[in-house]
Chains A and B, each alone.
Chain A
Amino acid sequence: MTEEVKKTTEDEMPDWSEYRGVLVYVEHREGVAKPISWQLLGQGRRLAEKLNADVMALVIGDNVGKLAEEAIAFGADRVFQVDSPTMHDYRTYPYSRAAMKVIHDAKPEIVLFGATATGRDLAGAIATHLPTGLTADCTQLDVEPDPSRLLLASRPAFSEKMMATILCKQYRPQMATARAGVFEALPRDPSRRGEIVHVDYTMAEEAVAAKVLDFIREESTVNIEEAEIIVAGGRGLGSAEGFKLLQELADELGGEVGASRACVDVGWINHHHQIGQTGYTVRPKLYFAFGISGAVQHVVGMQNSDMIIAVNRDPEAPIFKIAHYGIVGDLYEIVPAMIEEARKRKADAASGKGSKTEAEGGVRV
């Protein structure tokens, strides 16, 4: 394969000057965007700036005008809105045909989707039809500036043990799906200006074989993706009971409880709490890892946290390599002490005894 790579690098690239800009597919449920949509719009904007081109959003649904406006607030220069009752539920056939029409007309050089069930379903169909190359589940997205304007789509391989950059030189657009939680959304700015293009596209309901009969939303009380504080536990908890203790600390701090896969696999906690390669990728301000060894598949999901605090009995545990603060000890001793300390500090502050922050002149918000 290496030989071939060298050869194509030296090949002349076809003239792609008709294709300009980055298009981001805005995934949503009932008009509410998935966090990945705005994250990709943020990253799309960064790429577009390097290419000196526009970032565009694609919104498909039924009555999604509000969402199209939101896309502008989150960074889109132009939004293509496909709005029709047939598009109420995501279904591969009508969505892929609508998206292909927009791609044909707008000619973006890059199209990005979330590496979610829907994003992969849709991108896989579109890339085959166009046809073009599609890179899966990227965790890094960059571009080469003019003249190549190549998308450098990098993705983990072999259970995160390796990274590979995938290129698509001979086809346009270049397409990729990208992992949620890795890229940063731009701050929402309702004063940002952009254009909404109403795409004239309809498909008769009779032309669509698939019928969505029901959607049973999984009641999830966790919002680990957007939590600013995560109190995570691993196999070191020893039992499902351990999570009750972590919940207490999380409640005290206003955070959410996270978990390693080991705990999810044995059924101590459900998958919505799982951090890592096959769970959520998160970047909170504060991440506690209690009884988590620090396997690479876990670490890839939390290494970008602002502050990582690890508590582990084993001083050699790999988690300490990436932690900012480490405590060697039994979590069943440390966690209760933390709960107590947090309560005490907050109580002191509330009763006006003056916390350290105040004594030092800390800023209030």
Chain B
Amino acid sequence: MLHIVVSVKQVPDSREIRIDPKTSTLVRIGVPAIVNFYDLHGLEEALVLKEKYGGRVTVISMGPPPAEKALKQCISLGADEAVLITDRAFAGADTLATSYVLAEAIKKVEETWGPVDIVFTGKQTLDGDTGQVGPGIACRLDIEQLTYVSKVTGYNGETKRVTVQRKLEDGVEVVETKTPVLMTALKELNKPRRAPMPGMLRAAQYKPIVWTTADFPNLDRSKIGLKGSPTIVGKTWVPEIKAADTQMLDGDTKVKVGTLFDKIWETELPARFGWDHAANGKGA
């Protein structure tokens, strides 16, 4: 039996965000809100593990009330219960304050439904894009952390240890650790399912459980929201791609290419690579 918590964030689909060229500000109106797609990979893995070992999947999200929609989507996919953590006091949080609230929420999930074995978060979000919330939650709960998980290769119910593959820049690491553990999901982890009809029907009826600050009597107010956030967003600007003094080359193909190579031959490169004298074709 496994109790798995999946932490999901509702994000604006950043592919749809445009910059207003006149005001240099973000145009968010009409931008669809979606479940951060890495989080759906975390949910899928949780569902697969539940199918294999039995147990329950609880989904949590911190955000404004419309994030309910994201939670309902998770229910339609097969999550057992979904909790929305919402309160104006949580707004403006950076990753430190976000991980504090989510860790407190996971403790409350444990009080409500029993001990948690695995927590899934996404590798990172499409909007904040920091990848810091997962490690933050793990630290606060004082549990193991396995980031960038591309495959869960085994779970041993007796030893309570998991084995996973982590995809790093230069290769794949096979690592094993004890539960409880927090894992951050990559898209390589699995292929999320489509919502089955019964799930969709359940989601249509389902009201996510809502927790506000009132539900956390021991919450340290100095650690939440803007006040609990050490980072501050200062200046924002639209990056200017520095336009080069482009020289367009004319003529037929042979002329264009010839002119281009004349230009290249004016640089230090032919000497550097030995093109100008060496018989060793491939350069230094």
Do A and B associate with each other?
yes
- Which size class do A's interface residues fall under? 35 or more
- The residue on A at minimum CB distance from B229 is A133
> What's the minimum C-beta distance from B182 to chain A, rounded to whole angstroms?
10
> What's the minimum C-beta distance from B23 to chain A, rounded to whole angstroms?
12
> What's the minimum C-beta distance from B207 to chain A, rounded to whole angstroms?
31
- The residue on A at minimum CB distance from B19 is A161
Chain A 105-128 interface residues, beta-carbon cutoff 8 Å to B: 116-118, 120-121, 123-125, 127-128
**With A29-B170, A209-B144, A209-B178 known to touch, is A324 a contact of B281 (CB < 8 Å)?**
no
Q: Which one of A45-53, A74-82, A235-243, A339-347 is at the interface?
A: A339-347
Contact status A215-B172, CB under 8 Å: yes
Partner of B258, one of A5, A91, A168, A341: A341
- Which size class do B's interface residues fall under? 35 or more
Contact status A132-B230, CB under 8 Å: yes
Partner of B231, one of A124, A167, A349: A167
Give the complex CA separation of A365 and B245 in angstroms.
29
Give the complex CA separation of A162 and B92 in angstroms.
19
Chain B positions within 8 Å of A252 at CB level: 281
Contact status B267-A326, CB under 8 Å: no
Give the complex CA separation of A4 and B93 in angstroms.
13
Q: Is there a chain B Cβ closer than 8 Å to A327's Cβ?
A: yes
Q: Is there a chain A Cβ closer than 8 Å to B169's Cβ?
A: yes
Contact status A342-B15, CB under 8 Å: no
Binary CB contact string for chain B from 209 to 234 against chain A (1 if under 8 A, 0 otherwise)? 00000000000000000100111111
Q: Is there a chain B Cβ closer than 8 Å to A350's Cβ?
A: yes
Q: Which one of A63-71, A152-160, A185-193, A196-204 is at the interface?
A: A152-160
Q: Is there a chain B Cβ closer than 8 Å to A266's Cβ?
A: no
Contact status A286-B135, CB under 8 Å: no
> What's the minimum C-beta distance from A72 to chain B, rounded to whole angstroms?
25
Chain A positions within 8 Å of B134 at CB level: 124
- The residue on A at minimum CB distance from B259 is A325
Contact status B253-A363, CB under 8 Å: no
**With A350-B279, A355-B265 known to touch, is A131 a contact of B247 (CB < 8 Å)?**
no
Q: Is there a chain B Cβ closer than 8 Å to A1's Cβ?
A: yes
Q: Is there a chain B Cβ closer than 8 Å to A253's Cβ?
A: yes
**With A162-B236, A329-B256 known to touch, is A213 a contact of B175 (CB < 8 Å)?**
yes
**With A164-B233, A171-B230 known to touch, is A134 a contact of B132 (CB < 8 Å)?**
yes
Q: Is there a chain A Cβ closer than 8 Å to B197's Cβ?
A: no
> What's the minimum C-beta distance from A79 to chain B, rounded to whole angstroms?
23
Q: Is there a chain A Cβ closer than 8 Å to B191's Cβ?
A: no
Chain B 71-94 interface residues, beta-carbon cutoff 8 Å to A: 92, 94
Binary CB contact string for chain A from 92 to 113 against chain B (1 if under 8 A, 0 otherwise)? 1100000000000000000000
**With A92-B145, A171-B230, A365-B271 known to touch, is A162 a contact of B239 (CB < 8 Å)?**
yes
Q: Is there a chain B Cβ closer than 8 Å to A333's Cβ?
A: yes
Chain B positions within 8 Å of A1 at CB level: 92, 226, 233
Chain B 172-204 interface residues, beta-carbon cutoff 8 Å to A: 172-178
Contact status B241-A218, CB under 8 Å: no
- Report 25 cross-chain contacts, Cβ distance below 8 Å, ordered by A residue: A4-B92, A92-B135, A92-B147, A116-B169, A117-B148, A117-B169, A127-B136, A128-B139, A158-B14, A161-B17, A164-B235, A209-B178, A210-B175, A211-B177, A214-B173, A215-B173, A216-B173, A216-B174, A218-B170, A285-B272, A323-B244, A324-B246, A327-B249, A337-B254, A362-B270
Q: Given A125-B138, A158-B17, A324-B246, output 13 extra A-B contacts at Cβ < 8 Å.
A: A92-B138, A128-B139, A129-B139, A152-B234, A162-B236, A168-B230, A170-B230, A254-B273, A321-B244, A325-B247, A357-B270, A363-B271, A364-B271
Nearest 10 interchain pairs by C-beta? A254-B283, A124-B135, A133-B230, A136-B130, A133-B231, A128-B139, A214-B174, A210-B177, A217-B171, A350-B279
Residues of chain A whose beta carbon lies under 8 Å from any beta carbon of chain B: 1, 4-5, 8, 29, 34, 91-93, 116-118, 120-121, 123-125, 127-129, 131-137, 152, 156-171, 209-218, 220, 228-229, 251-254, 285-286, 296, 299-300, 303, 307-309, 320-329, 333-334, 337-338, 341-342, 345-346, 349-350, 355-358, 362-365
Residues of chain B whose beta carbon lies under 8 Å from any beta carbon of chain A: 14-15, 17-19, 26, 92, 94-96, 99, 127-132, 134-136, 138-140, 144-148, 163, 166-178, 226, 229-239, 241-249, 253-254, 256-258, 260-265, 267-279, 281-284
